[in-house]
Structure 1
Amino acid sequence: MRWSVSIVAEGDRVVNHDEVVELADAVAAWSGIASGMGSQYYGAQLVVEAEDRDTAVRRGADAFVRAAAQAGLPSWPITEVGAISEAEDQLGYLE
């Protein structure tokens, strides 16, 4: 099953445009998008295959951490994680 996983990491400085562009390039492998320009956080939404929500969150977080490292971003703590399955999204659920 396909899951959309949203993740945010917060830190102690403002993230610039080029860093978000690098993160966007890094998460593209997971049909991802990136956010955070001008904020003290960076985030991404990625699509992963998983059997259940817990596995989707774990796979999404692993991919996010690898993508952030690839983009040269600091390894800030993850402060928000959310996941919605393709089936839930079609029904209009958000968790």
Structure 2
Amino acid sequence: MSRWSVSIQAEGDRPVELSEVVALADAVAPLGGIASGVGAMAYGAQIVIEAENADNAVEAAMEAFADAVETAKLPAWPMTRAEVIGPEGSDDEFGFPE
């Protein structure tokens, strides 16, 4: 297993408030995570995941992100982007259909 840093973004229909990003940051903190999105029409997080490969890391991160969003009581907006940085420093970006 390797450690992967995965960034995920979800886009919505209104600007994200500071209190919402703080709640998301609290929810992803146990995953070594940080959150972003204040004033943007999207929120996101970067978390650390242990997985065999990049695909598994993204899949696990999407589940963890969805759980964090629910814990933070944020609107469940569609995930629109995921980027993973692996142990070798390489990165891959995954897009989602609109």
- TM-score class, shorter-chain normalisation, is over 0.9
Note the 1:30-69 alignment, pairs <5 A: 30-69=31-70
Query: Considering only aligned residues, what root-mean-square deviation do their CA atoms show, in Å?
Result: 0.8
Q: Of Structure 1 and Structure 2, which has the larger fraction of its residues in helix?
A: 1
Separation of aligned partners in 1, 2:43 and 2:70 = 12
SS of residue matched to 2:91: coil
Runs of 4+ in 1 over 3 A off after TM superposition: none
TM-score, normalization by structure 1? 0.92
Distance, in Å, in 1 between the alignment partners of 2:17 and 2:74 is 10
Give the TM-score normalised by structure 2: 0.90
> Where is the strand percentage greater, Structure 1 or Structure 2?
2
Distance in 2 (CA, whole Å) between partners of 1:67 and 1:23 is 6
Q: How far apart in 2 are the matches of 1:29 and 1:48?
A: 11
Q: Which residues of structure 1 form unaligned runs of 5+?
A: none
Q: Kindly, what percent of the aligned residue pairs are identical?
A: 54
Answer yes or no: is 1:94 the counterpart of 2:95: no
